[in-house]
Structure 1
Amino acid sequence: MAYSVPSTDSAHPVNDRREIAGWRLYDWANSGFTTTVIAALFGPFLEALAKEAVGPSGTVLSLGIYKVTAESLYPDAVSLSVLLQFLFLPLLGALADYTNIKKQLLMFFCLLGAAATTMLFIATPATYLFAALAFVVANLSFGASIVFYNAFLNEITTEDMRDKVSSQGFAFGYIGGGVLLAVNLVLVVFAETFGLTTAMAVRISLASAGLWWGIFGYFGIQRLKNRASARKVPPGQHYITVSVRELWSAFRDLGRLRQTLRFLIGYLLYNDGIQTVIGISSVFLVNELFLSKGQTSDDAQSFLLGLVLMIQFVAFGGALGFERISRKVGTKRAILISLFIWTGVIVYAYAFLDSVFQAWFMGAAIALVLGGSQSLSRALFSRMIPHGREAAFYGIYEISERGTSWIGPFIFARVIAATGSYRQAILSLIALFAGGIVILLLTNTTKAIHDAGNQLPEEAAASHS
């Protein structure tokens, strides 16, 4: 049932079930891109195409002292898309706060990203560079759409509903991404049964992620409603100039909202640790459980694919479960519980992991805390930002997640280069979690929420009762 309390526009009530369902559906839609394209198929496929075109150690591009090789093409494509996100997402967020077209902007980047992803179908040894460029456009569009998607959370819900709705979004995303990944892995593994080559099955799977994103995303976004912008462009100024000023103003406000800034720094650290564990877990497991025991990486393929699928579906329950925990102990404490479990996972991987069975157990633990730590962080941050400035602050929040994800990989790489030990390298990531935990403990989240002019969940619930 919708409350009659208005959000940013009295014409549209908040906590409307139909609008929240559309918002959740968008997470279901775009998660097909993150699972099928990023987590499972595109990186190895692009590397194989590049090697077929230029040789195993061939040079794809030579940019002075910087060379792009067949092995580095995919990481370089990811890095380029992250750099573009770092440059553009805060500006896009600032722009959105001065318009009443968040829905149209979300739809534009959804369809652009979906179209670029669908075009990965043409990826062959002759067109692999175009495919890499299409991926850059898709990943940039994904990040841009998330800025507007996150900003809608504040417009369609009251403070007391944010933990629940944010967790539901992540949970639906895990299921949506998992369902599509399961279908595509069946297609790839049994390609010959369907009369397809493996390469064609991969190309179809990549394109399906674009169609999944575009079709479900379109219907989800259609349910969202534009609200009147809380900020107006001053006379004689243009959207671009006012966006730059708004972004600068948002950074200045972070200096004033010191508790919000403190949380953002803590989030930067612990989320970088989370993203690094996710990103290097396959390399770590292959080396520690297979290569070190005389097996090949091919022996690990089915295990890794099954592990990714299991994590997707268990994470669904984890996201919803941690929302319930947050209701009992508070959002900040629930996040801290998840971070202590993350720290325990790292210690377990360093000291005890020695079998595939143990890896399944560790993967399940990761899945349980994965959604909770991220969804509750988003919900908590949503209450720490001023009304009318949501998109600008979410633009900064998004680059704190994507633009800084080099810290953990850099630490991991340096430790393994110095010690030759994957276990020592993964143990080093504790520094990121420890730093994030300490900063979060020192953050007065109640003061951060009140300083931003917002209510605590219990205050909002009382005002609506």
Structure 2
Amino acid sequence: MARQKMTKQEKSWIMYDVGNSAFVLLSTALIPVYFSSIATGSVVVAWGYAETVASLVIALLMPILGSLADLRHMKKKFLVGCVGTGAVACCCLGLTVEALPFLIIYVIASIALNSSMVFYDALLVDATTDERYDEISSQGYAWGYIGSCVPFIACLGIVLGGSVVGIDMATGMKIAFAITAIWWVAFTVPVFRNVHQTHFKERAEHLFKDTFLGLGRTLKKIWRDKSLRYFMLAFFFYIDGVHTIIKLSTSYGTDLGIDSTQLVLALLVTQFVAFPSAIIYGRLGAKVGTKKMLLVGVFAYTCITLFGAFFLRSAVEFWILAIMVGLFQGGIQALSRSEFGKLVPKEHANEYFGFFDIFGKYAAVMGTFLVSSITALTGMSNLGVLSLAILFVVGFVLLSKVPDRA
């Protein structure tokens, strides 16, 4: 049977992944390296606490904003508001060379980015059909990985090679922040123009009262649904490890003394490996089952965590780790998003995805705080990384208990 061509709405939805991934890659690779040049003390500890604060704020806000965004015509308004705030904050990162103001601005940009992802994820139910969730969600992550490399390579050239034409690192980072913000905004335009909210709930007479009551009802529905309950609990644990590895990998490598250029180039390779891997993962999910492929991904991440804790000591091992992460990172995120989309009522998608994000962000609070605290107490960042293996094991056990749908 011939593979169905993507519609204009599906392509436009995917484009936002290309846009926001530019900032994700910059914040994963270059921003921690730049921060280490203006900060004192352990980069892992400071960066981990900053990510913890950002995740906590997002987790508190998203169910409420998500419920409001389920109203007619509201998803895209919230999305554009978050993108605008994030893009401005991204540009402002280049205006300070002091560690604390830089972290505060970064937290604002991170909150805006991750908030936008809740509204974007919920638009998946409007952009495509149930049977294509795995395929389109995976395509989003895949093109996000490869597309983000375009502005990132330009930023990399300016920051690392700018000295050839008289551009110092601080000036180079200002230009990099501006390039990333413009790219992010430009690739928001297609989803704003071409994806329309077809699933929504009607405005209630007492909007805010109904919003909070609705959140309580939704939480009860999630808990009573065995599939949703076990999936959300499993997601809470395994996505914790995934997000923590993404956020702290560069800082961890810096603490181990690995050259910053090697760190950045290795993470760039991760993007290229993740592009075909995410697409393949999505197709395998549709063929053999989303749950099975998620279990494979969680097991693989357990192995990756053990490798990082016990064997990562040099640039060569970091390159190996980057390739291993690239093989599974996009797949586990994409299939988690599509599996959840299949389980929730479409007219309340934003509200449910708000809780989806709460589980993900509170998990990120736990993961980054755990790694940062253990590193601060012991002085050994590898022990903090090792603790993530427990989270993957618990996630695997809970995910295996999710009932298979008939």
Please report how far the alpha carbon of residue 353 of structure 1 lies from its aligned counterpart in structure 2 after TM superposition.
4.7
Q: 2:304 matched to which residue of 1?
A: 345
Alignment equivalent of 1:40, drawn from 25, 29, 33: 29
**Structure 2 residue identity aligned to 1:82:** S
Q: 1:162 matched to which residue of 2?
A: 133
DSSP-derived class of the 1:234 partner: coil
Separation in 1 of the partners of 2:379 and 2:50? Answer: 27
TM-score of the two chains, using structure 1 as the length reference? 0.79
Q: 2:244 matched to which residue of 1?
A: 276
DSSP-derived class of the 1:25 partner: helix
Alignment equivalent of 2:16, drawn from 23, 26, 32: 26
Percent same amino acid among aligned pairs? Answer: 27
**Structure 2 residue identity aligned to 1:279:** K
Please report how far the alpha carbon of residue 346 of structure 1 lies from its aligned counterpart in structure 2 after TM superposition.
2.7
Please report how far the alpha carbon of residue 412 of structure 1 lies from its aligned counterpart in structure 2 after TM superposition.
3.6
**Structure 2 residue identity aligned to 1:34:** V
Alignment equivalent of 1:187, drawn from 155, 158, 182: 158
**Structure 1 residue identity aligned to 2:273:** V
Higher helix share: 2
Q: 2:73 matched to which residue of 1?
A: 100
Separation in 2 of the partners of 1:272 and 1:74? Answer: 16
Q: 2:218 matched to which residue of 1?
A: 250
Distance 1:311 1:332, change over 3 A: same
Please report how far the alpha carbon of residue 16 of structure 1 lies from its aligned counterpart in structure 2 after TM superposition.
6.4
Please report how far the alpha carbon of residue 356 of structure 1 lies from its aligned counterpart in structure 2 after TM superposition.
3.5
Please report how far the alpha carbon of residue 363 of structure 1 lies from its aligned counterpart in structure 2 after TM superposition.
1.9
Separation in 2 of the partners of 1:343 and 1:135? Answer: 29
- Taking the TM superposition and a 5 Å limit, the aligned residue runs for 1:36-435 are 36=26, 38-46=27-35, 48-49=37-38, 56=40, 75-125=48-98, 131-227=102-198, 229=200, 231-235=201-205, 237-238=206-207, 240-286=208-254, 297=257, 300-353=259-312, 355-413=314-372, 416=375, 421-435=380-394
The CA deviation string for residues 286-308 of structure 1, in whole angstroms up to 9 with x for no partner, is 55xxx5xxxxx3x5111101111
DSSP-derived class of the 1:403 partner: helix
Q: Contact 1:103–1:221 at 8 Å: present in 2 too?
A: yes
**Structure 1 residue identity aligned to 2:10:** I
Distance 1:234 1:388, change over 3 A: same
DSSP-derived class of the 2:137 partner: helix
Q: Contact 1:118–1:211 at 8 Å: present in 2 too?
A: no
Separation in 2 of the partners of 1:351 and 1:87? Answer: 35
Q: Contact 2:199–2:346 at 8 Å: present in 1 too?
A: no
Please report how far the alpha carbon of residue 139 of structure 1 lies from its aligned counterpart in structure 2 after TM superposition.
1.8
Please report how far the alpha carbon of residue 415 of structure 1 lies from its aligned counterpart in structure 2 after TM superposition.
5.1
Q: Contact 2:126–2:199 at 8 Å: present in 1 too?
A: no
Please report how far the alpha carbon of residue 266 of structure 1 lies from its aligned counterpart in structure 2 after TM superposition.
0.3
Please report how far the alpha carbon of residue 77 of structure 1 lies from its aligned counterpart in structure 2 after TM superposition.
4.3
**Structure 2 residue identity aligned to 1:242:** D
**Total equivalences in the alignment:** 403
The CA deviation string for residues 28-72 of structure 1, in whole angstroms up to 9 with x for no partner, is 001111111x213334545655x5xxxx58xxxxxxxxxxx9997
The CA deviation string for residues 262-307 of structure 1, in whole angstroms up to 9 with x for no partner, is 10110110111112233343344455xxx5xxxxx3x511110111
Please report how far the alpha carbon of residue 341 of structure 1 lies from its aligned counterpart in structure 2 after TM superposition.
1.5
Deviating more after overlay: 73-82 vs 342-351: 73-82
**Structure 2 residue identity aligned to 1:182:** I
Q: Contact 2:62–2:355 at 8 Å: present in 1 too?
A: yes
Separation in 1 of the partners of 2:34 and 2:380? Answer: 28
Please report how far the alpha carbon of residue 228 of structure 1 lies from its aligned counterpart in structure 2 after TM superposition.
5.8
**Structure 1 residue identity aligned to 2:336:** S
* Aligned-CA RMSD value: 2.7
Separation in 2 of the partners of 1:70 and 1:301? Answer: 13
Distance 1:167 1:83, change over 3 A: same
DSSP-derived class of the 2:405 partner: helix
Distance 1:223 1:329, change over 3 A: same
Separation in 1 of the partners of 2:140 and 2:361? Answer: 19
Give the unaligned 5+ runs of structure 1: 1-14, 58-68, 292-296, 448-465
Please report how far the alpha carbon of residue 417 of structure 1 lies from its aligned counterpart in structure 2 after TM superposition.
6.1
**Structure 2 residue identity aligned to 1:178:** C
Please report how far the alpha carbon of residue 180 of structure 1 lies from its aligned counterpart in structure 2 after TM superposition.
1.7
Give the unaligned 5+ runs of structure 2: none
DSSP-derived class of the 2:25 partner: helix
Distance 1:16 1:311, change over 3 A: closer
Please report how far the alpha carbon of residue 430 of structure 1 lies from its aligned counterpart in structure 2 after TM superposition.
1.7
**Structure 2 residue identity aligned to 1:376:** L
Separation in 2 of the partners of 1:430 and 1:39? Answer: 21
Q: Contact 2:9–2:194 at 8 Å: present in 1 too?
A: yes
Separation in 1 of the partners of 2:44 and 2:266? Answer: 25
Distance 1:232 1:70, change over 3 A: same
DSSP-derived class of the 2:293 partner: helix
